[in-house]
């Protein structure tokens, strides 16, 4: 089966809407995060080389390098979400007749639940970075395409809040509460200033339109 990123936008949307369990919200979070990074890259690409922005050229080039690295990471996360979900579903499908089978199944579920918590947490982290990069694009980028920095921050924000939901779900089922609480605390730290930062960046853009 081909990877989601190789499917057309239209087919991706069709599969999303269908009764298939994947792709779902986790993949959408990664796609929105990748769109955010891509738009920051676009602003950079349309700023570099313009005499009016010569003063920030080096910073914009560095920003572009970061946003492109992040875009690749987030694009790969589209698949990571599906993979870990499928792995978890396979665990739930394991035999549970004997006590031994029950123990093996339960242990395996717990192991994969930790991975299924880490995957969206990594996505949330990447999305927070996407928000932060969009701020630089909004502050320094070509004002002729500054609205794209505004879309970048909104896409990154929606992606972050979406990834967070998947962390909550999976962390909630983990028996190792110390692990779960640590991950939830990491998530809260990532989320803590996201609302304010997003609003600030959106306003920076709106005032430059």
Instruction: Give CA–CA dist 62/48, Å, rounded.
Output: 11
Stretch that binds a second copy, among 37-45, 55-63, 105-113, 177-185 (CB under 8 A): 37-45
Interaction of residue 142 with a second copy, rule CB under 8 A: no
| Contact string 115-134 vs a second copy (x = CB under 8 A) | --------------------
Interaction of residue 105 with a second copy, rule CB under 8 A: no
Which residue bears the tokens 């110390």?
Answer: 178
Least distance (Å) from a second copy to the CB of residue 100?
Answer: 28
| Dihedral sign for Cα atoms in the order 108, 163, 195, 36 | positive
- List CB contacts of 209: < 8 A, sequence separation 6 or more: 146, 147
Least distance (Å) from a second copy to the CB of residue 156?
Answer: 9
- Site size for a second copy, by CB under 8 A? 57
Tell me whether residue 7 or residue 87 sits nearer to a second copy (CB atom). 7
Instruction: Give CA–CA dist 37/68, Å, rounded.
Output: 7
Which of 152-176 are b and which e, b meaning 16 or more Cβ less than 10 Å from the residue's Cβ? bbbbbbbbbbbbbebbeebbeebee
Residues 143-182 that bind a second copy (CB under 8 A): 145, 147-148, 150-152, 154-155, 157-159, 161-162, 165-166, 168-169, 172
Among 1, 5, 51, 103, binds a second copy (CB under 8 A): 5
Stretch that binds a second copy, among 9-17, 86-94, 106-114, 183-191 (CB under 8 A): 9-17
Q: Are 61 and 122 in contact (CB under 8 A)?
A: no
Q: Are 72 and 54 in contact (CB under 8 A)?
A: no
Interaction of residue 19 with a second copy, rule CB under 8 A: yes
Q: Are 187 and 124 in contact (CB under 8 A)?
A: yes
**Which pair of tokens denotes residue 83?**
């993979």
Where does this chain bind a second copy (CB under 8 A)?
A: 4-10, 12-14, 16-19, 21, 24-25, 28-29, 31-32, 34-35, 37-39, 41-42, 45-46, 67-68, 71, 75, 78, 145, 147-148, 150-152, 154-155, 157-159, 161-162, 165-166, 168-169, 172, 202, 205-206, 209
């Amino acid at each position: 089966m081909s990877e989601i990123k190789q499917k057309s936008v239209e087919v991706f949307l069709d599969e999303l809407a269908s009764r298939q369990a994947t792709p779902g919200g986790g993949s959408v979070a990664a796609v929105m995060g990748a769109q955010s990074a891509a738009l920051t890259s676009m602003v950079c690409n349309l700023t570099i080389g313009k005499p009016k922005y010569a003063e920030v050229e080096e910073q914009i080039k560095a920003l572009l390098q970061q946003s492109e690295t992040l875009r690749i990471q987030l694009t790969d996360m589209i698949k990571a979400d599906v993979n870990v979900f499928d792995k978890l579903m396979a665990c739930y499908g394991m035999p549970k007749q004997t006590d031994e089978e029950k123990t093996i199944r339960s242990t395996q579920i717990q192991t994969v639940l930790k991975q299924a918590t880490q995957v969206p947490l990594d996505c949330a982290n990447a999305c927070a970075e996407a928000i932060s990069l969009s701020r630089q694009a909004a502050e320094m980028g070509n004002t002729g395409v500054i609205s794209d920095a505004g879309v970048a921050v909104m896409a990154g924000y929606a992606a972050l809040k979406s990834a967070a939901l998947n962390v909550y779900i999976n962390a909630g089922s983990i028996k190792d509460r110390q692990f779960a609480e640590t991950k939830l605390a990491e998530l809260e730290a990532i989320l803590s200033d996201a609302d304010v930062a997003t609003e600030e960046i959106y306003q920076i853009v709106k005032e430059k339109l």
